[in-house]
Amino acid sequence: MTTHAPATEDAHEAHHGHSHGHEAAHGTFRSYMIGFVLSIILTAIPFWLVMADVFESSTVTAAWVMGLAAVQIVVHMIFFLHMNPQSEGGWTMMALIFTLLIVAIALAGSLWVMHHLNTNMMPMTPEMMKNMP
């Protein structure tokens, strides 16, 4: 005697477009609020650093702003995108790592090319530029 339960469950999953057995847990209200508060804090601190002119050096201020931006990216990935090594069997984390690798290669290559173009180009004075065709 055969049962039709698996076919019914497959039809139910196909109808709703997703399986109820996925590993990616949705966030709770508490986790969303923690992420929201951290995001506000991580936005307010750089704003304060720039507006209050806390550091004398703009380079130090820029470094702090970029560092806090990186922390905020991680907060968003954890609390809002629910990224962790277990989500979707690790494929989400692999896609992130691959994306970061491609971005790093493109950025490093672009900076390398621009540096060498700047180093190897003949310097031109304004007078030289006026005489160009």
Identify the pLDDT of residue 12: 47
Q: What is the pTM of this model?
A: 0.59
Q: Give 43's pLDDT tier (boundaries 50, 70, 90).
A: very high
Please count the residues of the chain: 133
In contact, 43 and 72? CB cutoff 8 Å: yes
> Comparing 126 with 35, which gets the higher pLDDT?
35
What is the rounded CA–CA span in Å between residue 63 and residue 69? 10
pLDDT tens column, 46-84:
999 999 999 999 999 999 999 999 999 989 988 998 887
**Lowest-pLDDT range of 21-25, 36-40, 51-55, 96-100:** 21-25
Identify the pLDDT of residue 37: 97
> Comparing 93 with 4, which gets the higher pLDDT?
93
Measured at the alpha carbon of residue 28, what is the angle toward residues 24 and 32, in degrees to the nearest 5? 100
Average pLDDT, stretch 17-42? Answer: 78
pLDDT tens column, 89-109:
778 888 888 988 999 999 999
Question: Residue ranges of the domains in the chain?
Answer: 26-82, 86-118
Pair of tokens at residue 48? 């304060």
